[in-house]
Amino acid sequence: MLTAVGRLIPARPSTARVHVAGHAYADRMARATSAYACSECGWQGAKWYGRCPECQAWGSVIERGRPIAAVQAAKVPASRAARPIAEVPTASAAHWPSGIEEFDRVLGGGLVPGAAILLSGEPGVGKSTLLLEVASRAARAGDRVLYVTAEESASQVRLRAERTGALADGLYLAAETDLATILGHLDEVQPALVVVDSVQTVSSAMSDGAAGQPAQVREVAGTLIRVAKDRGVPLLLVGHVTKDGSIAGPRLLEHLVDVVCSFEGDRQTALRFVRALKNRFGPTDEVGCFEMTGDGIAEVPDPSGLFLSRTGRPVSGTCVTIAIEGRRALPVEVQALVVPTNAPQPRRVVNGVDSSRVAMLLAVLERRCRIPLGSSDVYVSTVGGIRITEPAADLAIALAVASAVRDRALPPAVAAVGEISLAGDIRPVSAAKLRASEAKRLGYTDLLGPDAGAVADVIRRAFVRAVPDEVPEF
């Protein structure tokens, strides 16, 4: 605009007012220029980038148009009016069992109507097999189930269902990769449970890019979750993982769903674990145990004997600890082997335990307990392929190494639980009562822990119980 003296003054952007309950609020209107924003972290800029400058995510910067009109307050329908939280009914959100108790344990009691559950895991770990079994159990219970496969053909899924015994009359199978077609199947079948395998292979014509791109995953997942919640139908989604083990696609996917489960397991072993990383309807510290067999996947309600050796006689270099997986106490056998070597740098090989933790324990044993390990190769492993990350297994590792050095077996009724500090002290661990009760149930009457004293005293006492007439010397 021009002033009286002819100077040019930039005009202020126009403003609008939003009226809510008789009050007027200024709402500045933006110009209709396009901008770019990151769908992961919300970064905004005037230039497109293939990689977000803020969160370093690839393919997450998209073009967005700024609003050109003010937001008007809408009238709330009577059916959607806000009410006191104590008056909100919960009958429609009750759990109903899926037919697999281990899966229900992780979910907090079963499936919730309208819940969106994301199951992720490495390729070939058994995600499709598990969800096909869940769909089959629900169909046999009299419900209609729609299983959408976007990675395999219908005949391939049919063959796997025949091999695992998952054929059911109420199980409907559709091999589709288009979101609109999948929504058409939902209208025709009217299922009580929907399984989509997988969300990264379904695409929508309403979004640009190929299937699996962040924009496509966001559009597909958002539409399916919205439809599932409107109809009160549980939705099970299979998710891919990247090289580092994280879920492929935008981080928004984990925020949209109600439950995020991780399906873990080593391909070399038949044992599988399902862990809840996020659960809006139950705890996140539960673990479900499964075993892959030739006939499919089977539940393991009592995995107490999966991580113990079956030699039947005491062997040197072994010790049992009681580990906590979720809310379960599991006995795990730790094995150690100590071999003299002339190499300038002795080897330290571990499997199932933390290598840095083992290196620290070896230093404590050599410094505090006078156990010579500087000229020996040390191998430490767990039985059954389980991985122990908690420090409660420190004492069992130390006893196994000491037993391997002396070549003396510990008594069969001995189990050890405790964290070892650099000073050689044994610190208490969490869930001590649960560990003690499980050890007593399994016949380990002598549970060594923080009450036994320092680590040197515990090792000496353990070997005195094994051979009462001998004093241990290393």
Contacts for 81 with CB less than 8 Å, ≥ 6 apart: none
User: How would DSSP label each residue in 307-326?
Assistant: TS---SS--TTEEEEEEEET
Mean pLDDT in the chain?
A: 86
- CATH for 256: 3.40.50.300
Can you give the pTM of this predicted structure?
A: 0.75
Other Cβ atoms within 10 Å of 82 Cβ, number: 7
Domains contained in the chain, number: 3
**pLDDT tens digits, 395-409:** 999 999 999 999 999
**pLDDT tens digits, 199-211:** 999 999 988 788 9
Residue 265 lies in a domain: yes
Residue 10 lies in a domain: no
Determine the angle formed by the axes of helices 455-466 and 394-406, rounding to 10 degrees.
Answer: 50
pLDDT for res 183: 96
Same domain? For 387 and 412 the reply is yes
Residue finishing a domain among 270, 301, 332: 301
Report how far residue 393's alpha carbon sits from residue 406's, in angstroms, rounded to the nearest whole number.
20
Closest Cα to residue 131, out of 283, 234, 249, 204? 234
Tokens 């108790």, residue located = 101
Residue 340 lies in a domain: yes
Task: Tell me how long the chain is.
Answer: 474
Same domain? For 266 and 332 the reply is no
Q: What value does the mean pLDDT take over residues 85-100?
A: 84
**pLDDT tens digits, 260-297:** 999 988 777 788 989 999 999 988 888 899 998 888 89
pLDDT for res 104: 94
In order of 108, 329, 441, the CA distances from 449 in angstroms are 32, 16, 17
Residue 73 lies in a domain: no
Query: What element of type H or E holds 396?
Result: helix 394-406
Same domain? For 280 and 409 the reply is no
Residue 298 in this model has a pLDDT that exceeds 60: yes
Residue 8 in this model has a pLDDT that exceeds 60: no
Same domain? For 293 and 331 the reply is no
Report how far residue 391's alpha carbon sits from residue 333's, in angstroms, rounded to the nearest whole number.
15
Same domain? For 228 and 163 the reply is yes
Grouping H, G, I as helix, E, B as strand and the rest as coil, residue 233 is: coil
Residue 127 lies in a domain: yes
Domain of residue 450 covers 318-466
Contacts for 413 with CB less than 8 Å, ≥ 6 apart: 443, 444, 445, 446
